[in-house]
Structure 1
Amino acid sequence: MQITIRGHHLSITPAIEDNIRAQFFQLTKHLDQVSSMQVKLSKDHQVDKRSKKGSSNHIAEAIIRVPGAELFAQATADDMYSSIKKMTEKLKRQLEKYRESKLEYQVAVP
Structure 2
Amino acid sequence: MNLKISGHHLDVTPALREYVITKLDRVLRHFDQVIDGSVVLSVDNHKEKEKRQKVEINLHLKGKDIFVESCDGDLYAAIDLMIDKLDRQVIRHKDRLQGHQHEAIKYQPLAAQPEVPPQ
TM-score under structure 2 length normalisation: 0.81
1:17 aligns with 2:4: no
Considering only CA atoms, is the larger Rg found in Structure 1 or Structure 2? 2
Deviation at 1:67, TM superposition (A): 1.2
SS in 1 for 2:59: strand
SS in 2 for 1:108: coil
RMSD: 1.5
Aligned to 1:8: 8
SS in 2 for 1:10: coil
Aligned to 2:112: none
1:75 aligns with 2:70: yes
Give % identity.
28
Paired letter, 1:14: P
Structure-2 separation of matches of 1:108 and 1:102:
12
The number of equivalent residue pairs is: 104
Matches within 5 A, 1:29-108: 29-48=29-48, 53-54=49-50, 57-105=52-100, 107-108=101-102
SS in 1 for 2:30: coil
Deviation at 1:109, TM superposition (A): 5.5
Structure-2 separation of matches of 1:30 and 1:74:
20
**Structure 2 unmatched ranges of 5 or more:** 105-119
Structure-2 separation of matches of 1:47 and 1:83:
19
CA contact (8 A) 2:56 2:68 kept: yes
